[in-house]
Amino acid sequence: MNKEMFFSLVPKEVIKEEDTDKRINEQRKIIENGKSFVSQLSINQCVYKNLVDFDIDERLNLFDNLRSSLIINEHGMYFYDLDTESFGFILEETFNLENMYELDNLYIENLLNGRDITKEEIFLYEGRTMIFKDILEQFVFSSGMPSGNDLMLMLTVKKALLGSFLAEKNIESLLKGQKEIYDISILV
């Protein structure tokens, strides 16, 4: 996902003059909470720099950037019959997604368009279905080991990274006297 597409999808809102200080404080809290949450993740030890230090392009293509250090693998704590190959097949058949490292962009694009794909029921085989969130929890970003941060958590991380970035942009706009800001409620 590129910046132009992302910014075109994020809704905007106009705030009242008397709400400016309140909104600046809210945005600061979003930034603080997002950075605190992301900084606690074990994945930070495996990547070339802390996730909170990623620029907007790195945040927008988070999964693809993580691929340089980590892979999507089966979670060692789950003993289901889904493996990375069947996960790739599910992504292709259900979402027409050929590259599993673009899942984060698919998720954010759909979320900003009002569709949370993690809540959808996915057909697996022989009448068996699962909620997509439950499937995502069976796979992790890892450095070759069967444990790591699961994909559902990593989608939440991406929301936090993008939400905190937009909160910073909102503060900049408000401090310049602008009243139109990004509505980031869906990302926090």
Question: Looking at residue 172, what is its pLDDT?
Answer: 98
Average pLDDT over the chain, rounded to whole?
A: 92
Residue 143 lies in a domain: yes
**Nearest in space to 184 (alpha carbons), one of 64, 136, 173:** 173
Question: Looking at residue 79, what is its pLDDT?
Answer: 61
Question: Looking at residue 145, what is its pLDDT?
Answer: 56
Question: Looking at residue 146, what is its pLDDT?
Answer: 52
Question: Looking at residue 80, what is its pLDDT?
Answer: 67
Q: How far apart are CA 27 and CA 32, in angstroms?
A: 9
Residue 33 lies in a domain: yes
Residue 188 lies in a domain: no
- Domain extent, residue 131, equals 17-182
Q: How far apart are CA 181 and CA 111, in angstroms?
A: 19
Joined together, the tokens standing for residue 162 give 């993008």
Number of domains in the chain: 1
Q: To 5 degrees, how large is the angle CA 37–CA 43–CA 44?
A: 75
**Nearest in space to 172 (alpha carbons), one of 14, 52, 24:** 24
Q: In which residue ranges of the chain is pLDDT below 50?
A: none
SS3 at position 131: strand
Residue 1 lies in a domain: no
Residue 187 lies in a domain: no
Residue 140 lies in a domain: yes
The structure's pTM equals: 0.91
Residue 3 lies in a domain: no
Question: Looking at residue 4, what is its pLDDT?
Answer: 96
Residue 57 lies in a domain: yes
**Angle separating helix axes 20-39 and 151-175, nearest 10 degrees:** 150
